Structure 1
Amino acid sequence: MELFLTIFFGLCLFFPLLHLFHCMPWFREEDELVTLSPSTEKGISILVPSYNEAGIIETSIQSMKSLTYENFEVVYINDGSTDETFSILHRHLHLKPSAKIPIGKLAHNNVKKVYQSSLNPNIYVVDKMNGGKADALNAGIEYASKELVVTLDADTVLTAPSLKVINEKFANPEVVAAGGMVHVLQTKTSNPLKKLSLAGTKMLVRVQMLDFMKAFYVTKLSLARFQALAIISGAFGIFSKKMLIDVGGYRSSVGEDIDITLKIHRYIAKQKDKKILLITEAISYTELPETWKDLFKQRIRWQKSYMDCLVHFRSFLSKTVVTKAVSFFYIIESFFVGIVAAYITAGFFVASAFLNIAFVFLGFIIVYLSYIFLFNFIYNLLAIVQVKRYGFTFDKGDRLRLFNTVVYDVFIHRFVTMYFVMYGSVAYFFNRDWKKVSRTGRKYEVEPASAKVTTYRQNV
């Protein structure tokens, strides 16, 4: 038992410590240090799958209109919305029928009609029968005419330099896919490349912001340097269109973002010259849930997504667990340390409470709880420092809010997250459906296209 506890505790400590150090500037890869200056702009198709997005779609439209990149198009895919989504698109874009035709490579539900904006000719709307997000993305790829494909959620807002930075990174022919950085839309300010604000935000939003900071600026950054990034966030992903077609597009599943990332990893497994990046200079903002009900929906879906891909890609992951970093971290860290460890931890506490054997594990429990509280406090502080290192600061009045959020995260939210992991992992085997998170309906300020654009560079 002591040996088991030692191994268990060691694994729980090893991976967070590894990411904590590996995200530091000393371990930057060549892709992060070298900036190519391509003489031409690659064509970029931005795909925005939209199902009942009336509460946020206007913000998305204004965001797309504000982008200053020249060679890009936007394709909204209205996936059988039953609300005012299409009407809002028509009202703001003045849609007219378009002669755009599909490439005929990927299957998807029937497209009723394709439209083009009379006001902004580079914006299109594909109006189709409902088929789910993966199906909508496949339809979008079919009608995309550019070399690169950017996938965004309808509530994601891009910052002005993002497409320029993407063009620079994909000038390297080895890059076939990448994830962008995702910040919280509720914390966006009029200076979205440098300033964040917590004024007016709820604790629930602030603690999710901490989750995103830790995920993107610590864990994902570290994993990307290992070429082990298993999730290109659905909120902001970038792909070679050819690669998306080569892997057969998106699979209809509960987790299309993990699925497409692992598909690409599997496809390039024997191509050592191909890589997947995390582009720290491509910044976006996405809206987060503001109620416990919606947070529960979101996190359970995330966990079901992980389990779905663990099952679907089990052959690839198991065969390459010792040869591919992505498989090693997906199975050893995410499954054993992230999921199995949650059940073991809960089991110890339940056994102690109901079997009155707390004295047997008292030392372990004290040490483990001390680790949880102290280490997670340090982890949160590091994430805040990392965000500052990459050029972002908070308002002075946010210091107390940040401190309160860190305390709440360490003593409460971590255990709530553990519950989400445990519940979602089991729920996957009984119900693989997922429920859409409600939009707040809030109107967000978007910088006008005439605003001065300064290419963001990390401060490291």
Structure 2
Amino acid sequence: MENISNVWMFIIFIICLIFPVYHMIHALLIIIKKPYYQKAKRVLSEKPISILVPCYNEESIIKTTILGIDRLNYKNYEYILINDGSNDHTFEIMEQLLDLEIQKRGANCNLEFSAVKGVYRSKRNPNVIVIDKFNGGKADALNAGISYSSNELIITLDADSILDEKALSIINCAFVDPNLIAAGGTVHVLQGRRFKHGSLIPTLNVKSIVKFQIAEYLRGFYIYKASLAKANALSIISGAFGVFKKDVLIKVGGYRKTIGEDIDITLKVQHYKNQRVGLKVAYIPEAICYTEVPETWKGLYNQRVRWQKAFIDCTVLYLKDFMSTLLKSPLSFFFMIDALFVGVICSFITVISFILLIFFSENAHYLFFFLTLYVVTNFLYNLVGVIISYYYRNSFGKRDFLNILMVNLFDLIAFRLFTLFCTLSGTIQYFVNKEGWNKVARTGRKYHIEQEGEFM
């Protein structure tokens, strides 16, 4: 009986390693193509773009957000800040920094959202619009932004996200393709950036908890999202940075009020794409934004539990569709087998199996073998993420390169155990209290001051 259990554990363990190896190889094949930032110089006309930023109680970060607008190297855009019924000083700070004046502007589509109190334009930057509305949640605020936007290409950002100055030009280049209806960009950690000679460069002069997230974001975007997009299976366009055709968002009914609105809207758009011939959903690694990440373990735990609840919520909602197309659709296959089975179900199985091996098995060499294979494969996975990031001009200094290697090693020893706990906890909590939002508190840091005025 023990031998049978060991064999089953070995099979499950190998399945869990197959997908990381696949994603590594897939991601390395992608960098063969010419980057968008090299093509962007040849695209002369700027597509009109609407940038939507939902804001709820963002007084600690909103100044950094607004100052980041001035760094955009693009002219044909409107930047729409949606104040979703904040009960702090978010709107007052917007008024002070932007010098707002009332505008006569109405909704141009029939998406549902809470009542709007007023629409304003900045006197200091006419490209900036502020929508002041009653609270309805993030999805509700995004629906309002879509309805009041003027342009056919929409970017969605979090309030703590700042676009790289070249991001809009790269997106403009990518959407020359008329069949591209949605795309995700790369999200880097804002705390892991410093200004030097007018540019944001990576740094590891941050807290350990932030270092772990810097490494995690590198492999999460440059390997995992890149590979899924290449396989036509991208299931999450990050809420921190996504690009959509406005008419598609309207046709799919806009955002649904849920704890995982970014997963939900991606799946709705993918379903829309799959019903038509030739349409595309992509990942654009060269288009970058910077987002603030939690700096406390409690804040990070709350964020990851919310992410896990969102994933399970969409799994339950779309389960019937996924099962009916499991062997026909790459999206369904990778969502159910890679994300759900390997990412969630096998997490429970792994914990139980290791407990059994430690306390009830006399074959300790199995445990050593599994751990060794796990460490080697996942360290290589982490390393490939760092290497690919260099290709996309995310170049660490020599000292920081050695530092990121050490971070990736300790990631396997400690941080992965933490994220495993969050996965287990979030899954269980969903079935106990799936409505819990666990909004992560902002750090309150003044990035525009920390960058010694260069941000301005």
Q: Same fold (TM over 0.5)?
A: yes
The aligned amino acid for 2:414 is I
Q: 2:331 aligns with which of 314, 326, 343?
A: 326
Mapped pair 1:220 → 2:225: yes
Distance of aligned partners of 1:76 and 1:215 in 2 relative to their CA distance in 1, 3 Å threshold: same
Deviation at 1:193, TM superposition (A): 6.4
**Partner of 2:270 in structure 1?**
265
Given the superposition, is the C-alpha separation of residues 194 and 224 from structure 1 closer, same or farther in structure 2, using an over 3 Å criterion? Answer: farther
1:76 aligned counterpart, secondary structure? strand
Query: Residue 369 of structure 1 corresponds to which residue in structure 2?
Result: 371
Partner of 1:350: 355
In the alignment, the residues of structure 1 paired with residue 334 and residue 34 of structure 2 have an alpha-carbon distance, to the nearest angstrom, of 22
- Evaluate the alpha carbon distance shift between residue 258 and residue 28 of structure 1 in structure 2; reply closer, same or farther with a 3 A threshold: farther
Q: Does 1:284 align with 2:289?
A: yes
Is this contact kept in 2: 1:230–1:261, CA < 8 A?
Answer: yes
1:195 corresponds in structure 2 to 201
2:299 alignment partner, SS class: helix
Counterpart selection for 1:123 from 124, 128, 139:
128
Which residue of structure 1 lines up, in the alignment, with residue 16 of structure 2?
A: 12
Give ranges in structure 1 of 5+ residues lacking alignment: 452-460
Q: CA RMSD in A?
A: 2.2
Contact kept? 2:37, 2:170, Cα under 8 Å: no
- Which of 412, 415, 423 is 1:413 aligned to? 415
**2:160 aligns with one of 135, 155, 159:** 155
**1:53-452 pair list within 5 angstroms:** 53-191=58-196, 195-199=201-205, 201-353=206-358, 356-359=359-362, 362-432=364-434, 433-445=436-448
Question: How many angstroms does 1:195 deviate by?
Answer: 2.6
Q: Report percent identity of matched pairs.
A: 41
- Whether contact under 8 Å (1:159, 1:193) holds in the other structure is no
What's the counterpart of residue 21 of structure 1? 25
Distance in 2 between the 1:31 and 1:397 partners?
Answer: 27
Instruction: Note if contact 1:194-1:393 (Cα within 8 Å) is conserved in structure 2.
Output: no
How far 1:29 moved relative to its partner? 6.2
Rounded to whole Å, the distance in 2 between the matches of 1:111 and 1:129 is 6
Q: Using a 3 Å threshold, how does the CA distance of structure 1 residues 349 and 3 change in structure 2: closer, same or farther?
A: closer
Residue aligned with 2:182, SS = strand
Task: Write the distance in 2 (CA, Å) between the matches of 1:104 and 1:20.
Answer: 42
Alpha-carbon distance, 1:70 to partner: 1.3
Flag the 1:100–1:170 CA change in 2: closer, same or farther, 3 A: same
Q: Distance in 1 between matches of 2:445 and 2:398?
A: 25
Distance 2:36 2:103 in 1: 40
Q: Which shifted more, 370-379 or 412-421?
A: 370-379
* Partner Cα separation in structure 2 for residue 218 and residue 65 of structure 1: 31
- Separation in 1, partners of 2:20, 2:265: 26
The answer to whether the 8 A contact 2:189-2:293 is kept is yes
CA–CA separation in structure 2 for the residues paired with 1:272 and 1:31: 26
Alpha-carbon distance, 1:391 to partner: 1.4
CA deviation after TM superposition for structure 1 residue 94, in Å: 0.6
| In 1: Cα distance, 2:317 partner to 2:200 partner | 40
- Distance, in Å, in 1 between the alignment partners of 2:81 and 2:324 is 39
Whether the aligned pair in 1 keeps the contact of 2:107 and 2:147 (CA below 8 Å) is: yes
Distance (Å, rounded) in 2 between the aligned partners of 1:95 and 1:434? 31
Deviates more, 1:97-106 or 1:44-53: 97-106
Counterpart amino acid of residue 425 in structure 2: Y
Q: Take 2:14 and 2:413, find their aligned partners in 1: how far apart are those partners?
A: 22
Q: Give the AA of the match of 1:179.
A: G
Contact 2:36 2:173 in 1 (8 A): no
**Aligned AA (2:114):** N
Deviates more, 1:29-38 or 1:94-103: 29-38
Amino acid at match of 2:91: F
What residue identity is the alignment partner of 2:126? Answer: P
Contact 1:45-1:149 within 8 A present in 2 as well: yes
Deviations, residues 366-420 of structure 1 (Å, cap 9, x unaligned): 2211122222222221111111122121133324432331222011111111111
CA deviation after TM superposition for structure 1 residue 93, in Å: 0.4
Measure, in 2, the Cα distance between the counterparts of 1:291 and 1:139.
32
Displacement of 1:229 in angstroms is 0.9
Give distance in 1, aligned partners of 2:199 and 2:261: 28
The alpha-carbon distance between structure 1 residues 312 and 293, as it changes in their structure 2 partners (threshold 3 A), is: same
> Aligned residue for 1:454?
none
Tell me, yes or no, if the aligned pair for 1:94 and 1:117 is still in contact at 8 Å.
Answer: yes
Contact 1:247 1:263 in 2 (8 A): yes
Q: Secondary structure at the match of 2:80?
A: strand
- Offset at residue 39 of structure 1 (A): 4.5
| Deviation by residue 1:236-258 (Cα, 9 ceiling, x = unmatched) | 10000111101100000001111
